[in-house]
């Protein structure tokens, strides 16, 4: 799949659309999901043009996953979560709807389905 520079996350990265920013550095961005599945649902993405896990560079993936871990631990602490689910979808058939690589971070609590 060819990367589409008009996808919604590309526009957020360029600052053309707003987000509730959780983290930003030279290569990664994290912000709250607009339709949260749990309290604190956060998305972490590389700034580089990558549609999915298939076309991201090793360096960009490494930088992104380090921030995924950092945000997962911060979210667990901030939301007093009992656990953290991490999800990542590739292509529409898997459930991907925004075609810029991203990881979902979902704080979870015991007995909350
Ligand atoms: P996925 O199915 O992995 O492609 O998930 C895309 C996610 O992006 C969904 O959870 C959406 O709620 C979220 N999303 C879509 N548009 C925005 C936006 N403008 N700001 C924050 N999250 C968004």
The tens digit of pLDDT for each residue in 75-88 reads: 999 999 999 999 99
- Tens digits of residue pLDDT in 28-39: 999 999 999 999
> CA 105, 31, 2, 95: dihedral to nearest 10 degrees?
40
Residue 32 Cα to ligand 1 middle (Å): 9
pLDDT of 51: 98
Choose the catalytic residue: 20, 41, 100, 102: 102
Residues 39, 79 contacting (CB under 8 angstroms): yes
pLDDT of 45: 98
Whether residue 1 is predicted with pLDDT greater than 90 in this model: the reply is no
Residues with Cβ within 8 Å of 26's Cβ and at least 6 positions away in sequence, in order, are 47
Using CB distances shorter than 6 Å, the residues near ligand 1 are 8, 19, 33-35, 43, 89, 95-98
């Amino acid at each position: 799949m060819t990367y589409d520079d008009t996808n919604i996350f590309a526009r957020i990265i360029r600052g053309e659309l707003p987000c509730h920013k959780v983290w930003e550095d030279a290569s990664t961005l994290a912000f709250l999901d607009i339709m949260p599945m749990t309290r604190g649902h956060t998305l972490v993405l590389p700034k580089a043009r990558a549609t999915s896990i298939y076309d991201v560079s090793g360096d960009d993936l490494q930088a992104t996953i380090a921030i995924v871990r950092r945000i997962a631990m911060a979210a667990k602490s901030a939301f007093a979560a009992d656990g953290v689910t991490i999800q990542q979808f590739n292509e529409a058939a898997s459930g991907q709807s925004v075609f810029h690589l991203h990881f979902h971070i979902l704080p979870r609590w015991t007995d909350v389905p």
